[in-house]
Amino acid sequence: MTELIPSERPRVHFPPIANGIDYLQSVVNHLAGEPTVWDLKYAVLHLQSATEVLLKARLQQEHWSLVFKDPGKADRVRFENGEFESCGTAEAISRLRGIVGIVVSEKDTKQIAQLAKWRNALQHYGLSVPAPAVESRAAQVLDILLRFITDHLVPGLSGGEAEFADEGIYTVRSRLAKIQAFIKTRMDRLRPELEPYAAQTVACPECSQPALPLVVDSPLSCRFCEETWATPEQLAHHYARNVLDPKAYADFENGGDGPLPRACPDCRSGLLVLDARTAAAPDRPSPLCFSCGNSYEELVACEYGCGSVVVPTKDGRRDLCPMCFEHAYGFDKP
């Protein structure tokens, strides 16, 4: 009688670094060539998974308890068995900054936060964004993660794990370069159309490319990803929430003093964004009205303290908004 010998079946074994890099390789495979909507869906899901795994892998290098939602209740046995609730992406970044001492820029944090929103939408109620927006943001987050692995994870690895990471980084980076080249080619093609409106062009809240001109009688749409907004109000609030400081916008929504609204000195709409970053001046705030498209070099607060801003007179006259001017002098401001 022949003895039956159980066949050896492969084990699913993906430690954190290998798991994160495998997700990244999946992302660049899905984005290669001309990705379908299904490719883009899984690119978002896998990229968010890679982000969570890799950020927490660095926390784990510092100390295993830091990946627990509540480190004060960390338990080694539950950690090794994977039977615990881990911290979220935003909290992982906060711990990397405050405990590990790693600098994660606000720009990178916003990109990661928007990706997390997309992933949550896909998981829970559906997502609808332009395909080029997914490609653009995915390329930016991939670049963030590759830098993070190289600067903050690889130095803590050794032996075969370090070699695997180096090989994975090389593969992902070479494929990412092709994706970035596609994005650059598209932006270069758009540049002649956008250059005349550089002072009115901002980063798109969806794709993050500086390809959204605020020009009167022109569609409120990004020229790169073609996302469109129905009204200036909708666009201004979307921009303030996703491109500017999300915490400041949340404070505004709760009745605090956030980035909106401000009355435009020219059209008087409440859609003046004081901290806009335009293609003409990407490194400094440029007050920009999302209704009339006017941008301003300098604005000052109304002297009556009403909360409005005005263009400084610089001729000895008082800096008053139209309403306060009429209240003070009894006639309309010239």
Confirm if 197 and 213 have CB atoms less than 8 A apart: yes
Q: Is residue 128 in a domain?
A: yes
When divided into structural domains, the chain yields a total of 1
Beta strands in the chain (DSSP E): 201-202, 212-213, 272-273, 288-289, 300-301, 309-310
The distance from CA 128 to its chain's CA centroid, rounded to whole angstroms, is 17
Q: Say what the pTM is.
A: 0.81
Strand (E) or helix (H) holding 93: helix 89-95
Show the domain range for 148. 16-192
Q: Is residue 106 in a domain?
A: yes
pLDDT number for residue 1: 44
pLDDT number for residue 18: 87
The residue written with tokens 């980076």 in the block is 173
Q: Is residue 150 in a domain?
A: yes
Q: Is residue 199 in a domain?
A: no
| Residue of 284, 286, 260 whose CA lies nearest to 199 | 286
Query: How far is the CA of 28 from the CAs of 39, 149, 154, 177, 192, in angstroms?
Result: 10, 16, 20, 10, 30
Cα of first residue to Cα of last residue in the chain, in angstroms, is 107
Q: Is residue 231 in a domain?
A: no
Distance between CA atoms of residues 319 and 313, nearest Å = 6
Q: Is residue 259 in a domain?
A: no
Name the stretches of the chain with pLDDT < 50: 1-2
pLDDT number for residue 297: 85
**Tens of pLDDT along 155-183?**
998 888 888 889 999 999 999 999 999 89
Confirm if 224 and 209 have CB atoms less than 8 A apart: yes
- Percent of the chain residues topping a pLDDT of 70: 89
For residue 54, how many other CB atoms are within 10 A of its CB? Answer: 24
Q: Is residue 160 in a domain?
A: yes
Write out the two tokens for 275: 């901290």
**Tens of pLDDT along 244-278?**
876 666 665 665 555 566 788 888 888 988 889 99
Q: Is residue 322 in a domain?
A: no
Query: How far is the CA of 265 from the CAs of 199, 232, 297, 320, in angstroms?
Result: 17, 17, 13, 10
pLDDT number for residue 333: 62
pLDDT number for residue 6: 56
